[in-house]
């Protein structure tokens, strides 16, 4: 069994065993898992390697690109403004961002952006990854284009532009960019090592992701002009893009957050605990309740899976069998990283790795860790 570093409550031994086994067999290259309950860390484990050559160990302060787990932090930032009475989820986006009304988007509401139902799940082609990294210019492009389906009628995961859209709302209201807002209002106050827009000084700590196996059949037979293809190919770019300095530096609030399981579990435990953590109030219970206002329940136009979205987070659905029922919200990152928040158990669970797996809503490893964590949480309640 591979050696692990960190600490864990003995009740979570099965979770530790699963991580150790996967590191031992090579299923994992390097990874971290964390569980926070009632604001207290009960699992903080890491192990393996930060590089493919097995030269640099995954350390306590190793961070990596967590892909779409970034979206949950972006959502939390928006909810902070909701809590302060500065952002109304039922108001039109154009109330705060007048240019967004162009192209027939006057009726798009803030909650449509936060629930992936705005009709703007990507950029009109042609668009490149370099364009996406130029956040002001690519955000202006989103404001100008027409929606790809009627807003509010269905979800279509906003793969790369979620943070451009929500981040622009934050900038229009607060004046700070998304990355700065997160640093000053969320990550900094709670001591979480999480970054949207990574300073060059932190590059040496990054474990580059190992891309998942290529599958040319993923979009085979799909309508070339349909929402899924337009979203996945606008722009075309592989996981290797995350190795580039321009990607790391940009504030891409849908996909380029850098952190580890500890920082994600720490941040999201404020939701698990009803909005207050370590005596610091970030959200009211009423604002936390907004997360669980179901907005959709059906096939996602981009991912194809049957999903339920609340405001800012996914909710348990048949597409995510490793989540139990209850007052739970979550989201995953490409390759398997995950954040799960259980407000009934006051628990936040996270897993972050560098060897990316396959699967749209978590990998087999994601399933193993989350299932083991919930089994231990259930034992702790009895």
Joined together, the tokens standing for residue 7 give: 């600490």
Bridge partners of 34? 44, 350
The three-class DSSP label of residue 263 is helix
Joined together, the tokens standing for residue 237 give: 């770019």
Contact criterion met (CB below 8 Å) for 313 and 79: no
Residue 349 DSSP symbol: E
Give the sheet arrangement for strand 40-48, strand by strand. Answer: 5-8, 40-48, 30-37, 347-353, 338-342, 328-332, 314-315, 306-309, 296-299
Residues recognised as catalytic = 68
Burial profile 293-326: b = 16 or more Cβ within 10 angstroms, e = fewer: eebbeeebbbbeeebbbbbbbbbbbebbebbbee
* Full DSSP string of 41-94: EEEEEEEEBSSTTS-SB--TT-BEE-BTTHHHHHHHHHHHHHHTTS--TTSBGG
Q: How many CB atoms lie within 10 A of CB 184?
A: 12
Nearest to 125 by CA among 233, 238, 252, 218: 233
The H or E element spanning position 247 is helix 245-249
Q: How many CB atoms lie within 10 A of CB 112?
A: 25
Contact criterion met (CB below 8 Å) for 349 and 340: yes
The H or E element spanning position 33 is strand 30-37
How many angstroms separate the most distant Cα atoms in the chain? 58
- Provide the sign of the torsion angle of the four alpha carbons 334, 336, 169, 196, taken in this order: negative
Joined together, the tokens standing for residue 188 give: 């900094």
């Amino acid at each position: 069994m591979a050696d692990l570093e960190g600490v864990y409550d003995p009740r979570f031994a099965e979770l530790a065993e699963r991580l150790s086994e996967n590191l031992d067999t090579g299923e994992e290259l390097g990874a971290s898992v964390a569980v926070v309950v009632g604001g207290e860390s009960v699992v903080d484990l890491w192990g393996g390697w930060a590089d493919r050559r097995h030269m640099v160990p995954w350390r306590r302060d190793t961070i990596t690109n967590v892909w779409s787990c970034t979206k949950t932090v972006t959502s939390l930032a928006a909810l902070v403004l909701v809590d302060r009475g500065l952002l109304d989820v039922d108001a039109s986006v154009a109330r705060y961002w007048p240019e967004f009304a162009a192209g027939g988007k006057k009726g798009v509401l803030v909650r449509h952006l936060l629930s992936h139902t705005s009709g703007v799940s990507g950029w009109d082609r042609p668009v490149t990854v370099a364009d996406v990294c130029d956040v002001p210019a690519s955000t202006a492009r989103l404001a100008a284009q027409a929606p790809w389906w009627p807003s509010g009628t269905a979800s279509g995961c906003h793969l790369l532009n979620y943070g451009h859209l929500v981040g622009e709302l934050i900038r229009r209201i607060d004046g700070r960019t998304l990355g700065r807002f997160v640093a000053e209002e969320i990550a900094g106050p709670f001591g979480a090592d999480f970054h949207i827009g990574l300073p060059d000084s932190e590059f040496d700590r990054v474990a580059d992701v190992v891309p998942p196996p290529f599958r040319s059949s993923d979009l085979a037979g799909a309508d070339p002009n349909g929402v899924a293809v337009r979203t996945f190919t606008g722009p075309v770019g592989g996981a290797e893009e995350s190795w580039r300095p321009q990607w790391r530096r940009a504030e891409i609030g849908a996909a380029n957050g850098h952190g580890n399981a500890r920082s994600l579990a720490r941040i999201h435990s404020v939701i698990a605990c009803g909005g207050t953590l370590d005596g610091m109030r970030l959200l009211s219970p009423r604002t936390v309740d907004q997360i669980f206002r179901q907005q959709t329940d059906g096939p996602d136009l981009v991912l194809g899976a049957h999903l339920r979205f609340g405001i800012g987070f996914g909710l348990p659905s048949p597409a995510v069998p490793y989540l139990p029922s209850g007052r739970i919200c979550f989201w995953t990152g490409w390759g398997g990283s995950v954040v799960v928040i259980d407000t009934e158990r006051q628990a936040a669970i996270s897993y972050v790795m560098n060897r990316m797996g396959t699967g749209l809503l978590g990998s087999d490893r994601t399933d193993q860790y989350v299932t083991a964590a919930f089994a231990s949480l259930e034992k702790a309640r009895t």
